Amino acid sequence: MVKENLCVVCGKKDSYIRKNVVPHEYRKHFPIEMKDHNSHDVLLLCTSCHAISNYYDNHLKQQLAKEFQAPIGSEEGLRLLEDPERRQMRSGARALLNAESLPAHRKEELLQALREFYSTDTVTDEMLQEAASLETRISNENYIPHGLKVVQCHSRGGLRSLMQLESRWRQHFLDSMQPKHLPQQWSVDHNHQKLLQKYGEDLPIKLS
């Protein structure tokens, strides 16, 4: 496929960058059979069309996030979860350390909670200090990055379903940017017939 050195959207001939029509965060998890023809989805855009295109991409990402319960956010924020019990222990310990005037029954309640938390009969000063600086965020074992989760959900429907995800991004690019200078052979379902003929619909999907 011949690609001219111009922005495929507006035709501008300078200051351009390469655009991944199917964003890398999804594409990188595609099965190897679908990665042979990546270059089809790498197009030249000038910097301003690129910025506008990214803006529209975020809309589709939000939509996919809703459809597939695949939250978008900082990896760190989603990988760690706030543990309410540890948070409670921490604030209880801090209250015990700093509050001279706590009513006796409240003090006893907080101490009892700490005894249970540490499975002990007596709460030492060291334990109190430790509890007062507990890390309240714990690792979220079920965390799956947004792109991977969306691709996983599609992979359950096999090759055809993954190709639909690919087509959806390509169609989204056409609808949102209405490019005037696409290479002639560029198409929304590029290579899909070939893939089906070569591997069949029942290709076992191995995600990268």
Question: Could you give phi then psi for residue 91, rounded to 5 degrees?
Answer: -70, -30
Q: What is the pLDDT of residues 139-194, one digit of tens each?
A: 777 788 899 999 999 999 999 999 999 999 999 999 999 999 999 889 999 989 99
Q: Is pLDDT at 75 greater than 70 in this prediction? A: no
Q: Decide: 190 and 58 in contact? Cβ < 8 Å.
A: no
129: Cβ–Cβ under 8 A, 6 or more apart, which residues?
93, 97
pTM reported for the whole predicted model:
0.71
